[in-house]
């Protein structure tokens, strides 16, 4: 069983920050429920395949030097958590900042809401 802290880290680094398709898919199947619902300003994606496509498309649009970094304190509850992040070149200003808010069911992420800094 994964902790909320573990799941926040894995979501950011092992899925959305992971450019290796094989290990990204393995992480998806390990940390999310099969019916995971991902919501961001672009819409709603449901299920492992949709989540994988979302991560793949994101990483395909940016230079290889872009990485995710944790950008503040984590907020942890018994079945939910939030993690602020920054995304951009490793040695430069972030291109975007945001926060991921997760809900956990049976030790896996069941919902993710991503908000972008305005």
Query: Tens of pLDDT along 19-75?
Result: 999 999 999 999 999 999 999 999 999 999 999 999 999 999 999 999 999 999 999
Residues whose CB is less than 8 angstroms from the CB of residue 57 and which lie 6 or more positions away in sequence, other chains included: none
Answer for the pair 9, 25: CB distance below 8 angstroms, yes or no.
no
For the chain, the average pLDDT equals 96
Specify the CATH number of the domain 4-116. Answer: 3.10.450.50
pLDDT for position 65? 94
E strand or H helix at 7:
helix 4-9
Residue 118 in this model has a pLDDT that exceeds 90: no
List the domain boundaries for the chain: 4-116
State both tokens at 109: 């992420």
The confidence score (pLDDT) of residue 97 equals 97
DSSP codes joined into one string, 8-65: HHIIIIIIIT---HHHHHHHHHHHEEEEEEEEETTEEEESHHHHHHHHHHHHHTS-TT
Cβ partners under 8 Å of residue 66, min gap 6: 59, 87, 88, 89, 90, 95
* % the chain with pLDDT above 90: 95
**pLDDT confidence tier of residue 92, bands split at 50, 70 and 90:** confident
Q: Which of 88, 95, 114 is nearest to 11 (CA)?
A: 114
Q: In this structure, what token pair is assigned to residue 76?
A: 């942890």
- Confidence class of residue 1 from pLDDT cuts 50, 70 and 90? low
What pTM was computed for the model?
A: 0.94
């Amino acid at each position: 069983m994964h902790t909320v802290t573990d799941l926040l880290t894995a979501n950011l680094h092992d899925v959305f920050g992971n450019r290796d398709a094989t290990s990204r898919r393995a992480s998806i199947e390990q940390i999310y429920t099969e019916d995971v619902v991902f919501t961001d300003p672009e819409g709603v994606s449901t299920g492992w395949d949709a989540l994988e496509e979302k991560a793949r498309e994101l990483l395909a649009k940016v230079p290889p030097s872009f990485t995710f970094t944790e950008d503040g304190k984590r907020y942890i509850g018994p079945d939910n958590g939030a993690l602020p992040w920054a995304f951009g070149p490793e040695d430069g200003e972030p291109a975007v900042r945001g926060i991921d808010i997760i809900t956990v069911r049976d030790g896996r992420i069941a919902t993710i809401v991503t908000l972008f800094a305005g």
